[in-house]
Chains A and B, each alone.
Chain A
Amino acid sequence: MIINGVTIDDTFAEAFGMKATRVLITAINHRWARYAAEAMTGFATSIIGCGVEAGIEAELPAEETPDGRDGISVLLFGMSSKVLGKQLANRVGQCLLTAPTTAVFAGMGGDKTLDLGRNIRFFGDGFQTSKLIGERRYWRVPVMDGEFLCEESTGYTSAVGGGNFQVLATSEAQALNACEAAIDAMRKVPNVIMPFPGGVVRSGSKIGSKYSELPASTHQVYCPTLKGITDTQLTPEIESVLEIVVNGVNDSDVRIAMRAGIEAACAVGAQQGVKRISACNYGGKLGQFHFHLREILA
């Protein structure tokens, strides 16, 4: 398969089952909502070292938020509800409670819930009050700028993490240019995040290492500077490989986002140095979700 001169490898991305939750952050304006959201989703690129993978899903206009203020929806993914809940509590406490004017609300319903304000409320040192409005309980925690309003819990769901594709180009700048176009397209897709910086990762990894204490290490078959000394997946003209990892609330979301991203990258075209689109997998034995590139683009 070739699109705009870009070869689509006959391979697949291998993704894993995860747990996901969504929270809605509001603030006095988008600037402060974004500060809080960026803090909450900082250091959340990979579960390997960060506990969760998190990202900003969308900016929400005031009319779409519970309290009628500007907001941002954030998705967080963890390997288990226990880990996800712990990370959520830490990040709400350290990144949202601390941010001026913010409030946080559940972004998912359902019977399965994670604590949102249930424990954060104790920061109020006995001055906290709750308010049950409809079927939802909120906590009002007194802070120095007024009150931190926080819904008691948020739902979580089974989700998919680790959808991916790689852009192989003749230079670093050209690979990055294609990835930026892909990310711009993928950010329009709901229910997904691309957790790495700017949505793009350069340090694609394989499982394990020659150093026994490391769970993951560089994926040398995609490293252009090692073309002469290891097995390689790269042809001579490829000088740079960048990867986009996408997590979604369900597999169809991941599929839609991957298609949008690959199409945008291909639209940049071979003339601009984009030569191949590939994907990372582990032979299909580890992850239960397989996203075949050519099927997605068919």
Chain B
Amino acid sequence: MTALTLTLRDKPRHRIDMAAVRPDRLSDLRPEDVARLSLDYGNRQVLLGELFDITGRDPHHLIIRNSCSLLDAIGAGMETGHISIHGNSGDYLGLGMHSGAIEAHGDSGHWTGSGMQNGMIHVDGNCGDFAGAALPGEHQGMRGGTLLITGNTGDRTGDRMRRGQILIEGDAGDYCGARMVAGTIAVLGKVGIAPGYGMRRGTLLFEHRPASIPATFNDCGQHTLGFLRLLLNSFSELNSRFSQLDSNRLRVRRYSGDLACDGKGEILVWVSY
């Protein structure tokens, strides 16, 4: 069975809420039923078939072609299946997803992976602000799974993140890992100001020393940390630069903080070798 493919006919004039288009909710639907799904489109509702051409029948693998940054909440809350997105995607990509995989070939908007609990989101492009972060009013951001970003992320990546890992091959913006509760964020590029601001626990792992580290982080010196090998080995199956990292890179400088908030978090900066 070929993948269920939705091809956006024209660039929409308004934002489209794609939360209803989830592989796990399409499994019992025929293509004609899929076409009759109602989507929020700006301040009104339209049928999916009015916006997308539909081909294929396998809902467990959903392909969205000709996607654009106005398609919000793709894969939100999904519990199984695989979504491939060709083109940019809007905000809330994979919002609160429970399981499954999203592969986005393009940039994604703000709050990518916010509240996700498990599964894998791979953005082969850049992310907006608040990747893996908590929505306003939420106590926790990402709660599990892996958010892999090939490009750069905006500000507040992993804000209030609780569990899981965010892996950024490019640069991260300001306040990366701010108010983080736990989890891991690794950045191979540069990092903006005030990483780990207000973090309680968790690990920020950086290739390069950030331009500024908050004054409430204390330098604990250079160390060889054995758990890094386990972490690096866990990257080995990823389709990413992270899988090519030398698993012997265990030597880091450790900054402990944020001492204003428990201080059990850490910024680890790889030592050149």
Contact = CB atoms under 8 A, between A and B. Distances in A.
A67 interface: yes
Interface in A121-135: 127, 129-134
A127 B227 CA distance: 16
B65 interface: no
Nearest to B262: A126
Best-buried of A103, A131, A132, A134 by chain B (most CB within 10 Å): A131
A149 interface: yes
Contact of B230 (A67, A129, A146, A147): A67
Contacts of B247: 68
A69 B264 CA distance: 27
Given A129-B201, A131-B184, A132-B163, A68 B224 contact: no
B225 A129 contact: no
A140 B268 CA distance: 15
A133 B163 contact: no
B224 A138 contact: no
B229 interface: yes
A133 B229 contact: no
A112 to B, nearest CB: 23
A134 to B, nearest CB: 5
Interface string B168-211: 00000000000000101000000000000000010100000000
A133 B234 contact: yes
B203 A131 contact: yes
A66 interface: yes
A67 B182 CA distance: 22
Contact of B229 (A67, A140, A146): A67
A255 B216 CA distance: 62
Contacts of B163: 132
A131 B226 contact: no
B224 A146 contact: yes
B264 A146 contact: no
B36 interface: no
B227 A66 contact: no
A293 B203 CA distance: 57
Contacts of A129: 201, 264, 266
Contacts of A132: 163
B226 A103 contact: yes
A146 B225 CA distance: 8
Nearest to A65: B229
Contact of A67 (B184, B226, B264, B266): B226
A129 B201 CA distance: 8
Interface string B20-32: 0000000000000
B259 to A, nearest CB: 13
A215 B203 CA distance: 53
Nearest to B183: A132
B203 to A, nearest CB: 7
B11 interface: no
Which of B227, B229, B248: most chain A Cβ within 10 A? B227
B226 A149 contact: yes
Contacts of B224: 146
B254 to A, nearest CB: 10
A129 B266 CA distance: 10
B231 interface: yes
Given A68-B233, A132-B163, A140 B223 contact: no
Given A68-B247, A129-B201, A129-B264, A134 B225 contact: no
Contacts of B201: 129
A103 B224 CA distance: 13
A138 B230 contact: yes
A138 B223 contact: no
A66 B236 CA distance: 13
Interface string A163-197: 00000000000000000000000000000000000
A147 B227 contact: yes
A146 B254 CA distance: 12
Given A129-B201, A131-B203, A146-B223, A68 B229 contact: yes
Given A129-B264, A131-B184, A132-B163, A138 B229 contact: no
B264 A131 contact: no
Interface in B232-265: 233-234, 247-248, 264
B234 A140 contact: no
Nearest to A105: B230
Contacts of A138: 227, 230
A72 to B, nearest CB: 16
Question: Which 7 interchain pairs have the tightest Cβ spacing?
Answer: A149-B226, A67-B229, A133-B234, A133-B230, A67-B226, A68-B229, A149-B227
15 contacts: A66-B230, A66-B233, A67-B229, A68-B233, A68-B248, A103-B226, A127-B264, A129-B201, A129-B266, A131-B184, A131-B231, A146-B223, A146-B226, A147-B223, A149-B227
Interface of A: 66-69, 103, 127, 129-134, 138, 140, 146-147, 149
Given A68-B248, A129-B201, 14 more contacts: A68-B233, A103-B226, A129-B266, A131-B184, A131-B227, A131-B230, A132-B163, A133-B231, A146-B223, A146-B226, A147-B225, A147-B226, A149-B226, A149-B227
